[in-house]
A and B are shown apart, each in its own frame.
Chain A
């Protein structure tokens, strides 16, 4: 007589140390083997889209901060670009430069968290704290300028809330030269650690075809070996003036598109962001950051879909204007929301411990998934 076995349902989250917030995963397991993964969302749903309909265009900006709270600058950036496109505003050069520098600093800060938590999920707590220390460095630079650590409300339609602090340029330069050491340290401590490679290489392989079909963007897509970055491929703001590379996953330790590749792409992306900052910081022109801010934002009737490359991928804002001062509809295409969809596909046939490693490499922010 054959032994009859049953699968077990393990409920991971919403309170779990490594579901990055309040994600709930319903794991169907057979021993430690994953049979099926069902994500359940909505625990952090704060009705961003409904709120946005009741707000004036500029009042929506603080709400965008709270979606991807690790990359608020990017969220601001995407939103103001969309509204500016709707209004047809050209912002001053100085604003463009400051925006790009801020967004890139934020990208580094966000990747610090992503890489750190990915490591911490696998058990390496020390790199996590090193990266948080350096993230704090960035946040303090940003704080000096706009007065907040995480939720900035810094980029306004047509300009910025404040001009940069007099120390900003000096401290940013200090940071860029300092942070290069951190990347070397991170490579030594975690990236090429044998155990870390064993845990992430060949785990959660995402083939390029699947990645595109699932709409994966950002480091997820680039980890699968596709050279696609909105900053280059659908350029916005002044990114076309800077010289930087797009790192892609090459399967150095395993298959192309595995968890290690996604991790690796993020590390190399931080280097590229440093390059952009170094180029931009010396070129900031003089000017007034408030000059193009419209008194009253009342865009014409129409729709706009505008997207930017956020640290987690393509952040799209779809705004419908009915000619009033409030947006008629704001839909956010959140990168984490779309990237998370692949989780079930990636986890099949792996072990419980791998779910954590894969989830860490997808790098989700629940604030953005649920909005």
Chain B
């Protein structure tokens, strides 16, 4: 069993640059920030290292950080420009019984994160959900389709974004409220 700081040290020593920082201020759990395009390397290391053995991905959540600039678009709605979208990975080791939280942040306009589907299979649907809801593109994901929304939902419309505008029409049909 290892604490988050120890894990951070191991990661920093082994992988260096990829690991960005550790955020210890949060009241409940320290979060390790990682490069979005290198997350699969970190994941694989975390899973296969005999000291760490993070064999299970508890949760993968896409988050709209909403830390950009709020501007009005031409119809008068608030739209967020700039800032980041993040993905949080909650890992657990069923053998060593320790936990760790990873975080990657990618720019909002072109959010691309490497998929960890081939490290933990259960990331498959979680990543699809994050793509569907937040609009984060997972590179090298085998089947990145929408999962909860209809397949023919408007492109680039992701409901869990903070500036999501509820559409008036769906496939030409008026949506009644």
Contacts and interface: CB of A to CB of B under 8 A. Distances in A.
A302 B26 contact: yes
Given A49-B133, A338-B122, A212 B58 contact: no
B90 interface: yes
Given A42-B148, A213-B122, A316 B59 contact: yes
Contact of A318 (B57, B61, B94): B61
B35 interface: no
Contacts of A301: 26
Interface in B40-71: 55-59, 61-64
Interface string A307-335: 10000001010101000000001010100
Contacts of A363: none
B164 to A, nearest CB: 8
Interface stretch (A137-145, A163-171, A226-234): A226-234
Contact of B149 (A45, A49, A316, A337): A45
Interface residues of B, number: 35
Nearest to B159: A50
A244 interface: no
A228 B94 contact: yes
Contacts of A337: 125
A370 interface: yes
Nearest to B129: A337
Nearest to B123: A215
A47 B120 contact: no
Interface residues of A, number: 38
B122 A329 contact: no
Interface string B118-140: 00111011100000010000000
B176 interface: no
B101 interface: yes
B120 A305 contact: no
Nearest to B57: A215
B28 A215 contact: no
Contact of A302 (B27, B124, B160): B27
Contacts of A233: 97
Contacts of B55: 212-213
A341 B63 contact: no
A42 B121 contact: no
A292 interface: no
A129 interface: no
Interface majority SS (helix, strand, loop, mixed), chain B: loop
Contact of A305 (B59, B64, B122, B149): B59
Contacts of A302: 25-28
A305 B160 contact: no
Interface in B88-138: 88, 90, 94, 97, 101, 120-122, 124-126, 133
Interface string A74-118: 000000000001101000000000000000000000000000000
B142 interface: no
B62 to A, nearest CB: 8
B58 A370 contact: no
A42 B128 CA distance: 12
A303 interface: yes
Contacts of A341: 121-122, 124-125
Interface in B124-176: 124-126, 133, 146-150, 159-160, 164
A42 B153 CA distance: 12
Contact of B159 (A47, A210, A234): A47
A214 B27 contact: no
Nearest to A87: B27
B149 A307 contact: no
A281 interface: no
B56 A305 contact: no
B31 interface: yes
B88 A318 contact: yes
A129 B70 CA distance: 56
A314 B125 contact: no
A300 interface: yes
B100 to A, nearest CB: 11
Contacts of A210: 121
Contacts of A228: 94
B80 to A, nearest CB: 14
Contacts of B94: 212, 226, 228
23 contacts: A42-B146, A42-B147, A47-B159, A50-B160, A50-B164, A85-B28, A86-B27, A210-B121, A212-B56, A214-B121, A214-B122, A216-B122, A226-B94, A303-B88, A303-B101, A304-B27, A316-B59, A318-B88, A331-B61, A333-B58, A338-B122, A341-B122, A341-B124
Interface of B: 25-29, 31, 55-59, 61-64, 88, 90, 94, 97, 101, 120-122, 124-126, 133, 146-150, 159-160, 164
Interface of A: 41-42, 45, 47, 49-50, 85-86, 88, 210, 212-216, 226, 228, 233-234, 300-305, 307, 314, 316, 318, 320, 329, 331, 333, 337-338, 341, 370-371
Q: Which 10 A-B pairs have the closest CB atoms?
A: A215-B122, A331-B61, A333-B59, A302-B26, A42-B148, A304-B28, A302-B27, A45-B148, A214-B121, A305-B90
